[in-house]
Amino acid sequence: MKSYRKVLEFNLPKRRQFVNITPEVDKALRESGIQEGLLLCNAMNITASVFINDDESGLHHDFEVWLEKLAPEKPHSQYKHNGFEDNADAHLKRTIMGREVVVAITQGQLDFGPWEQIFYGEFDGKRRKRVLVKIIGE
C-alpha cells in the first residue's frame, strides 16, 4: 500500500469565498503515483469546508444567500461562541457544507461524474488556513 500527503494553503481576502481546488487535488494525485485507491480531502480548520458541487457562479451566489438564511452571521451577539470570537456562524455554515470529501481513484484519475468539482469553502477568511489531501492505494 502506498500513501501520499499534501497540505494546501489559503489566505483569502474575503470572509466568505469558494475556490475550485480540483487542479491542486489532481496535481497531488499525479505526484502520488497512486492508480487505485481512495483520496480524502478535508479542511484542517473548523470554520472552513471542502465540498463537491458545480463550478457555476450563479449557484455559488445561491449558496451564499442560502447559508446566510440558515446560519446568519449577524448580529454576532446571537451566538454564545461569540465572546472573544465573531465566527460562530462560520462553524455552522461549514457544518452544512461539510468538512471533507472522499473520492475514488481509478486508473490514476479522480473518478468523477461530469460536473463534479472540489471546492474549498472559506467562511472566516483573511487569515491562513489549510486543507489536507491524503491518498492511499497502490
Report the nearest approach of a copy of itself to the CB of residue 27 (Å): 18
For every residue of 28-81, DSSP letters joined together read HHHHHT--SEEEEEEESSTTEEEEEE---HHHHHHHHHHHHHHS---SGGG-TT
Phi, psi of 15 (to 5 degrees): -60, -45
Shorter beta-carbon distance to a copy of itself: residue 19 or 101: 101
Report the nearest approach of a copy of itself to the CB of residue 61 (Å): 5
Which residues are at the interface with a copy of itself (CB under 8 A)?
1, 3, 5, 36-38, 40, 42-46, 51-54, 56-59, 61-63, 66, 70-71, 79-83, 88, 91-92, 95-104, 106, 111-116, 130, 132, 134, 136-138
Report the nearest approach of a copy of itself to the CB of residue 128 (Å): 11
- Residue holding cell 475550485? 20
